[in-house]
Structure 1
Amino acid sequence: MARPALLLAALLGAGSAAAQDQAACGGTPGAPAWAKSAAYRGTLGTLPIALQLTPGRFESRYFYERRSLDISLEEFRSGEQLILQEAVRLERGGDSVVTGCFTLMPAGTGLKGTWQAPGGPAAQPVTLSPLNALTLPLKAPNSPGLQRLRRDDPLAFLKFNRAWVRTASSVREPLSGLSYPRVANASGPLNAALQDRLLENAVSALDCRSLLPQDLQADPAAGYELRAALTLQKTRLISLREDVYYECGGAHPDNFSLGLILDRATGREVSPAVIWPKLTAARMQTLYLTGVRRQVEADCLDVLTQSPLEFTVNLKPAGLNLTPTSLPHVAAACAETVVVPYAALRADANAAGPYFADLYAR
C-alpha cells in the first residue's frame, strides 16, 4: 500500500521545510555515498524508535514507538558521517524548528551514532538494526493491503500490525481510533477488503496527525475524521460511502467523499459500467444535472455546468448516488449528492449480468 496521495505532497513539503536552518546540525546537504534507502529499528537512548532512510527523496522519517507519530528528517553529510536533521512546528502559524540531530555511521549491517538537540544536554547513543518487516509475525488479520504495507512501508506496517477491536457491527483500529463497518456473514475476501479500507484511512490519519504542529497533536478536533457507512446490502453486492474531514496543519481544513461498490463474495470493486454498460460519462452528467437543479442555488448550478464532472458513486435502496469529486476547493460546497432511481437506469443495465437481480425484478 503506497502512502496516500492525499498526504504525500504535504509530507514532502514538511521534509523540505527542515532546510530553513541548514547550520543547525552542520554538514553539507545530501547523504554520503554509503547511505541507501532502508528501514531500521533500535533505540535512541533507552527509547525504542524506528527510522526510514530514503536519501534524496525528502521522505526520511522516524518515530518513537510509544507515540507512533512520524518526525521528518533531512539528510546532510560531514565526510562519511550521515547527519539527519529533524524539524517540527511547535505551534500553528509558526515556522519549523530544528529539534534534533542524528549523527550516524555504518556498524555491521546497521547504524550507530548519536542524537542531540541543538544546544541541548549530552548526546544520546543511537543503535539501529535493519528492519525486515517480512520476518515479523502478523498480529492483524492477513489481507492484501497489510501485505503491501509490509513490503512497501515497513514503518507503517510496524505501527498497524496489531490486534484490532471487533464488535458485531464494526472494526476499530486502535492507534488511529478510526472505525469501519462490518458485514454480517461476510466472506473472507470481503472482510479483507473492508479491513484494507480501514487500514488505508488509518495510515492517512496518522500521517495527518504527524503533520500537525505539536500544540494540536493532542487536540481531538484536529486531524483526520472518517465517517464510513454501509449504504446497501444485497445478495451479490454491498455498497459503502466514506466521508473524510481532515485538517493537517495547512491553510484550511478539507474533505472528500468516496463511494464503493463491492462484490460480496470476492470483495473486489464493481464498476458501475459492469452493472450499467450504457451509462456513459456524458449520460451520468446529464442525469446528475437534471437532478441537482432542484437542490442547489443558481450560483452553484453555474459552477456545476461549466465543465465535465467526475463522480464517486455508491448505491442506496433509493438508487445510484452521484457525488462530484472534481470541483475546486472554493466550490466544494456545491458538490451535492444526487440519487438517480434504479428505474431510470433500467435501460442502461446488463440484464444478463450477475448483479441485475440485486437491483431489478426480472
Structure 2
Amino acid sequence: MFKGLKRLAPCAAVLFSLISIAHAEEGPRVFTGTLGKSPIVVELNTSKDGEVIGRYFYEKYHRDLLLTGSSSDGMLALVEGENRYGEEEPLPTLKLKETGDGLQGEWHSPQGKKLPVKLADARLPASPLTTLPFIAALPQSAPYEYLRLQDLKLKAEKKENFMGYELQWWTEPESKISLFSVESGLPKDEQQRVNQQLLGRLWREVISYHGCLLQGGVNTDFMQQAEPKLISPSVVSLNIATSYYCGGAHPDFGDSPLNIDVRTGHPLSLADVLWVGEGQPILHAERDSAGDQPLSATDSAAYSNYQREVLVPWLIKQFTMLHPDEMKKPAEDDDNACNYSDESIWGYSPWYFTAKGLYLGPYFARIARACDAPEWSVLPYSIVKQHPGAVKLQLPKG
C-alpha cells in the first residue's frame, strides 16, 4: 500500500480469508448485515442488565449513528440518535430479536417507513501482508473500527523536503486528517519502522475524528494540523495540533506531539529523553511497537510523584534562569497575565524536539488557554544532555 511499509505477517493471515470474532461476555458485540438493502456494521454493548448502548454505520458513509435502549428476553428495543438541547423530535427506532448467530428485526422511521434488519456476528477479513501493525491489532482490540477502516483509503498529497528528508503527505479524504511518511534519508529498515508509527498515528486520529462526531452530533468540529519539528538520524519529532468541538459547553484545542526513536521505531516518553530524578528512569522504551503498554499501578504512582515533586520544580527553575521576565509571577490584580511560575501548568507538558532544544509547553485551564504554547519554553540541548533519559540518543548541538 505504501512504499517501504511491507512486513511479514503470520502464516494464518495467508491461509484464512476470514477471522471469526467471538464476543466477550462483558464487551461489545459486533455485527455485520443489512438495513433494508444497505450494508451496515453494528456494535452493541449489553453488559449492563437490561440496558443497551451502541452505534452503527452504513458501509457507504462510515459515520456513526448512536443507538440506545433496552433488552429483555432476547428482544432489543433501540432508539437511533438522541435529542439534544431540549429537543423532543421523534427519532427512528429498531426492534430486534436474538437469532442463533445474530439479530433480526425492523427499523422504523418517525414517518412510519419500515425496513428489515438482518445482522450476523461479524467475520473480519484477514489483514493483508502490507497492513500496518496498528491496524493489524484492531481485530482484537477494536473490531468495529477495523471494519470501518477497511474501505477508507489514503490520498497522496504534496511532497516536501524537510531538513534534508523527503516527506510524502497523506490525507484521509472523509476526515481530512493528514500526516506524512518519510520517503528518503533514513536506512530502509528504520524508515519502515518510523512510517509504521506515523501512518498508524494517522489512522488513530481518523478513529478519534469519528469518535468526536458520534459524541458531538451535527455541530461537531474537528480540525487538525500536523507539523514536523525535527528529523535526524536519531529521532523523528512532530506536533499534532487539534481544534475540536465534540459536544459540551465550549470548543477546545490542544497539542499532541509524537516523538519516535528512529533506531527502534518506538515512541519516546519524556523520561526516555530527560531524567532529573535519582536512579534509573521509571519509564523506558521497552514497550510494544504501538507504544500503548500501560505502566503498572506502582510505576504510575511513582512517576506521578516524580513529575510533581522533582521534574516540575526543576523545569520552573531552569526556565526562570533562562527566561526570568516571562517566568516572573504576575501581580495578583492582573487577571489577564499568564502565570508561568504556577507548578500546576507544567505537570503534563506536551513536548517535542526542535533544532534548538527540547520544547516543553505548559497546559492551562480553558479560561487561560491563550497562554498555551509560548515560543520561548525550549530547554537547550546543552542542558538536556546533562540529564539523559533511558534511551541513548544522539541529540543536536542546539
Same fold (TM over 0.5): yes
Over 3 Å counting, the alpha-carbon distance change for 1:312 and 1:241 in structure 2 is same
Flag the structure with more relative contact order, 1 or 2, with Cα contacts below 8 A and sequence separation at least 6. Answer: 1
Match of 1:328 among 365, 384, 392: 365
Using the TM superposition, give the Cα deviation of residue 140 of structure 1 relative to its aligned residue in structure 2, in angstroms: 9.7
What is the number of residues matched between the two proteins?
Answer: 314
**TM-score normalised by L of structure 2:** 0.70
Relative distance call for 1:44 and 1:97 in structure 2 (3 A) is same
Conserved? CA contact 2:154–2:173, under 8 Å:
yes
| Mean Cα deviation higher: 241-250 or 70-79 | 70-79
Residue 286 (structure 1) aligns with: 317
Aligned 8 A contact 1:205 1:223 in 2: no
- 2:153 corresponds to 1:163: yes
**Cα offsets for 1:10-67 (capped at 9, x unmatched):** xxxxxxxxxxxxxxxxxxxxxxxx9984111111111211111101376411112222
Residue 317 (structure 1) aligns with: 355
Deviation of 1:174 (Å): 2.8
Q: 2:393 maps to which residue?
A: 355
Deviation of 1:115 after TM superposition, in Å, equals: 0.8
Alpha carbons of structure 1 residues 248 and 94: separation in structure 2 relative to 1, 3 Å:
farther
> How far is 1:259 from its partner?
2.3
State the 1:304 CA deviation.
Answer: 4.5
Contact 1:86 1:98 in 2 (8 A): no
| Root-mean-square deviation over aligned CA pairs | 3.0
SS for the counterpart of 2:183 is coil
**Residue by residue, what CA displacement relative to the aligned partner does 1:142-179 show, whole Å, maximum 9, x if unpaired?**
22321232222222211222432235421212331210
The percent of aligned pairs where both chains have the same amino acid is 24
Q: Match of 1:336, SS?
A: coil
**Worse overlay, 158-167 or 244-253:** 158-167
Q: In the alignment, does 2:340 pair up with 1:340?
A: no
Q: CA deviation at 1:228?
A: 0.8
Q: Distance in 2 between matches of 1:207 and 1:175?
A: 14
Question: Tell me, what secondary structure is at the counterpart of 1:88?
Answer: coil
8 Å contact 1:239–1:259 — kept in the other structure? Answer: yes
Corresponding residue of 1:146: 135
Please give the alpha-carbon distance, in whole angstroms, between the structure 1 residues aligned to 2:356 and 2:36.
59
Of 59-68 and 73-82, deviating more is: 73-82
Decide whether aligned partners of structure 1 residues 335 and 308 sit closer, same or farther in structure 2, where only a CA change above 3 A counts.
closer
Provide the residue aligned with 1:100 in structure 2: 92
**Mapping of residues 198-347 of structure 1, within 5 Å:** 198-214=202-218, 216=219, 222-278=220-276, 281=311, 282-290=313-321, 294-295=325-326, 298=330, 299=335, 300-302=337-339, 304-305=341-342, 307=344, 309-310=346-347, 311-325=349-363, 327-337=364-374, 338-347=377-386
- The 3 A distance-change label for structure 1 pair 324 and 286 is same
1:53 to 2:44 alignment: yes
Residue 128 of structure 1 corresponds to which residue in structure 2?
119
- Distance in 2 between residues matched to 1:285 and 1:202, nearest whole Å: 36
Q: Give the secondary-structure state (helix, strand or coil) at the position aligned to 2:61.
A: coil
**Aligned amino acid, residue 72 of structure 1:** L
The letter of the residue matching 1:287 is: Q
Q: 1:188 maps to what in 2? A: 192
Q: 1:248-274: per-residue Cα shift (whole Å, max 9, x none)?
A: 232111011122221113221223333
Are 1:314 and 1:322, in contact at CA under 8 Å, matched by a contact in 2? yes
- 188-197 vs 167-176, which moves further: 167-176
1:288-333 per-position Cα deviation (integer Å, ceiling 9, x unaligned) = 45556545893544364253622111011011101123x3222222
| 8 A Cα contact 1:87 1:98, kept in partner | no
Letter matched to residue 321 of structure 1: Y
CA distance in 1, matches of 2:56, 2:237: 37
Q: 1:198 to 1:35 in 2, by over 3 A?
A: closer
- Note the residue ranges of structure 1 that are not aligned, 5 or more in a row: 1-33, 217-221
| Corresponding letter in the other structure for 2:350 | T
Residues 236 and 265 in structure 1, CA contact (< 8 A), matched pair in contact too:
yes
SS in structure 1 opposite 2:346?
coil
The Cα of 1:227 is off from its aligned counterpart by: 0.9
In structure 2, the residue matched to 1:117 is 109
1:26 corresponds in structure 2 to: none
Aligned mates of 1:295, 1:97 — CA distance in 2: 53
**2:300 alignment partner in structure 1:** none
In the alignment, residue 236 of structure 2 is paired with which amino acid? I
Q: Distance in 2 between matches of 1:203 and 1:121?
A: 34
CA contact (8 A) 1:277 1:349 kept: yes
Long gaps (5+) in structure 2 = 1-24, 160-167, 278-309
Alignment TM-score, normalising by the size of structure 1: 0.77
Q: 8 Å contact 2:181–2:199 — kept in the other structure?
A: no
Q: How far did residue 81 of structure 1 move?
A: 1.7
